[in-house]
Amino acid sequence: MSPRQTLKVASAQYPIDQPATLDAWRDKIARWVADGAATGAEVLVFPEYAAIEQAAALGEAVYRDLAATLDAVAELEGARVQLHQELAAKHGVHILVGSGPSRKGPGRYTNAAQLVTPKGNVGVQEKLVMTPFEVDWGISASHEMRVFDTSLGLIGINICYDSEFPLLARAMAEAGAELLLVPSCTERVSGYHRVRTGSRARALENQIAAVVSPTVGDALWSPAVDHNSGSAGIYVPSEHTVSDTGILAQGELNAAQWVAADIDLGRLRHLRNSGEMRNYVDWLNQPGAAKLADKVEVVTLA
């Protein structure tokens, strides 16, 4: 199969609400997926810790208690992914499910995001670098980097803080990733800008596209996701013929909305050998730089 030349993606600026029931939560997700698919996008990206919203439907004893929230939301992981599989098949789209705790043992969790395809295949990337608040929560870091080989091309995932560490995205790019999905959850505008800066840098260094999806709005009922600030963005290197600014699309700060853009993958590939700058190839000219592709598992989802 010849590589895709163009790809439309949509990124959710997703509000953390307080659904009264799990059925209400499912209805909300179905609406959001339908609206995202209506943009014409083939990839829909939901943010980090969007799954925590489910705790609101389980009663105050759960949603007011962090440990109970993590336990209950982890218990719902399978059903949550299944819902997105059904919606991906219905709308013919790939979906990055909003991440959430994934149980690894009694009281042990990772922060896992699932990429589901219209055929029902599922790939999982767990967060690699923990923030201080995740350490306090007892969330464990993963050590497994993956790239997902889909019918749309090879896709990598950096969950929020991971986007601020260049070797992670570099390893995924060397393994073939041309699209980097960055689900995020940041309390303050300063945190949003860190993820935005990191994602734009990863796009520049590797001459790929990066897609940031944030949680937005206040959810004062939750000790986990009480404040959320951010803006969705779709970023590429700032180069002639691709984008003068490196910004293909940018949402309104803290608004609930989809942000969509067409990505010219063919032009991004061309940059690596014929661009104004050739950051991807010249990476190895840095003193101490090494090849990293062998650190990444390529998982077939096509």
Kindly report the average pLDDT of the chain as a whole number. 97
Which ranges of the chain does DSSP label H, i.e. alpha helix?
22-38, 60-63, 66-75, 77-91, 132-137, 166-174, 189-206, 265-274, 279-282
Q: In the numeric block, which tokens belong to residue 252?
A: 């309104």
Domain contains 1: no
Encode pLDDT of 187-229 as tens digits: 999 999 999 999 999 999 999 999 999 999 999 999 999 999 9
Please, what sign has the CA dihedral across residues 56, 58, 59, 65? negative
Domain contains 286: yes
Q: In the numeric block, which tokens belong to residue 140?
A: 């464990």
Domain contains 166: yes
The whole-number average pLDDT for the span 42-58 is 98
Look up the domain containing 229 and give its range: 6-300
Q: How many domains does the chain have?
A: 1
pLDDT at residue 277 tops 80: yes
Give strand pairing partners of 111.
101
Residue 89: the pLDDT is: 98
SS3 32: helix
pLDDT at residue 29 tops 80: yes
Domain contains 267: yes
Q: For a pLDDT cut of 70, what percent of the chain falls above it?
A: 100
Please, what sign has the CA dihedral across residues 55, 109, 153, 299? negative
Residue 2: the pLDDT is: 80
* 8 A C-beta contact, residue 52 and residue 100: yes
Residue 11: the pLDDT is: 98
Q: In the numeric block, which tokens belong to residue 188?
A: 């303050």
**Burial environment of residue 39 by CB neighbours within 10 A (0 to 12, 13 to 18, 19 or more):** middle
The whole-number average pLDDT for the span 264-280 is 92
What backbone torsions phi and psi does residue 191 show, to the nearest 5 degrees? -65, -40
**CA separation for the pair 31, 126 (Å, rounded):** 26
Residue 275: the pLDDT is: 85
- Predicted confidence band at 167 (pLDDT cuts at 50, 70, 90)? very high
Q: To 5 degrees, how large is the angle CA 79–CA 83–CA 89?
A: 140
pTM of this structure: 0.98
First to last CA, the chain: 11
SS3 103: strand
DSSP state letter for 142: P
Closest to 90 in 3D by CA, of 114, 51, 120, 113: 120
Residue 273: the pLDDT is: 84
Give strand pairing partners of 145.
296
Domain contains 201: yes
CATH no. for residue 288? 3.60.110.10
